[in-house]
């Protein structure tokens, strides 16, 4: 396979094979890495990134601006089922002030939710007491 060609393999893939090897070896389940597997992983990664970028460009605002932006990528990760596994890695950017407001709202809703749960528990206890008294 082409991966065995020393020196020539770097022309077939753009990503540094040494970095990919380090990433692959970071898994405790991997003891050794075959050169063919390393090459194929690098090539597959390149093709995936190329597909993600092309899809994001075509379905984002990239055509209008003639550029691919982070928001195009995050929109693709959020909206396209194929790329939804990237939603945590490519979140939509928000301003810090909006994030703080969201946290405050969640905190308020959490407190209200806890109060509701306590009320429900009290109602359940009252029902249980009523049933015991009625028996």
For residues 56 and 75, give the distance between their C-alpha atoms in angstroms, rounded to a whole number: 8
Q: What is the pTM of this model?
A: 0.60
Task: Name residues whose C-beta falls within 8 Å of residue 40's C-beta, 6 or more positions apart in sequence.
Answer: 3
Asked if pLDDT for residue 44 goes beyond 90, the answer is: yes
Question: Which tens digit of pLDDT belongs to each residue from 21-39?
Answer: 999 999 999 888 999 999 9
Question: Which tens digit of pLDDT belongs to each residue from 60-113?
Answer: 887 777 888 888 899 899 988 999 899 888 888 888 888 888 888 888 887 755
Cβ contact 57:48 at 8 Å: no
Closest CA relative to residue 89, chosen from 77, 79, 106: 77
């Amino acid at each position: 396979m082409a991966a065995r060609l020393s020196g020539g393999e770097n022309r077939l893939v753009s990503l540094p094979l040494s970095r990919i090897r380090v990433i692959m070896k970071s898994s405790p389940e991997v003891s050794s890495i075959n050169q063919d597997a390393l090459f194929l992983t690098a090539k597959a990664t390149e093709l995936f990134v190329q597909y993600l970028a092309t899809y994001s460009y075509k379905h984002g605002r990239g055509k209008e601006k003639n550029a691919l932006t982070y928001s195009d990528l995050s929109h693709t990760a959020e909206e396209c089922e194929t790329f939804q596994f990237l939603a945590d890695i490519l979140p939509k950017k928000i301003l810090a002030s909006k994030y703080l407001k969201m946290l405050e709202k969640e905190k308020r809703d959490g407190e209200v939710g806890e109060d509701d749960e306590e009320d429900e528990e009290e109602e359940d206890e009252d029902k249980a007491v009523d049933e015991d008294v009625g028996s």
